[in-house]
Amino acid sequence: MYIIPAIDIIDGKCVRLTQGDYAQKTVYNENPLEVAKQFEAAGIKRLHLVDLDGAKASHIVNHKVLQSIAGNTSLQVDFGGGIKTDADIEKAFASGAHQITAGSIAVKSKETVVRWLQQYGVEKIILGADVKGESIAISGWQDDSGINLFTFLEEYVALGVQYVICTDIAKDGLLQGSSIGLYKLILQRFPDLKLIASGGVTSVSELIELRDAGLYGAIVGKAFYEGKISLEELSSF
């Protein structure tokens, strides 16, 4: 299982939100590149980079942070937040993204994501499934789409999607554990999916549980920044 640290960006700074609430923001580092280099030095290979300003603005805002990290580390960066148009996805890949995460756009404009899958290939597009209960949330988690998670996944798996990041918003940023039950249900339905857990990861034992459940990857954010899981522990997977 891949351990994928998260860097969330607001105003060019490394932050974390609690349950996607922009009013509950903690700034952890003013220099995201510095944080990324720590991950690289520990032997970590991947990074989940989220443009929270972009998610709110509905277009990429912090592409220069992506450019800086991709250009100065060997990390494979998956980038999300505000990717809505062909110009956005072109800018993301031109700035050094290894993959992009299609979140709200996958709900609002399926034809766009289908075109991207065809144009860039299924290896380059991660489906972002952000859920409250079993309903997909969009627009930086501000809105409920009313679409059922399993219906959403079924449609996209049929279109060839291989990678999915599933975030349980109720768990995110609370350090109370991830939704392992939900992930097991998803993998029962879609056993070939490269499913990446996101939200609530708190301990190494939980990472082991996720790995044993067949998860492809696990995103770790607040647990690292709050010192619950060390860099050494992350790099041991």
Which residues participate in catalysis according to the annotation? 8, 130
Is the distance from CB of 131 to CB of 169 less than 8 angstroms? yes
Contacts of 134 (CB under 8 A, 6+ apart): 148, 149, 150, 182
Is the distance from CB of 195 to CB of 215 less than 8 angstroms? yes
Alpha-helical runs (H) found in 31-179? 32-41, 52-57, 63-72, 86-94, 104-108, 110-120, 149-158
Nearest to 150, CA basis, from 160, 128, 163, 135: 135
Distances (CA, A) of 198 to 5, 29, 114: 10, 21, 24
Give the distance between the most distant pair of CA atoms in the chain: 42
Question: How many Å apart are CA 125 and CA 101, to the nearest integer?
Answer: 6
Block residue for tokens 């940023």: 173
Nearest to 226, CA basis, from 206, 204, 202, 191: 202
How many other C-beta atoms are found inside a 10 Å radius of the C-beta of residue 110?
Answer: 15
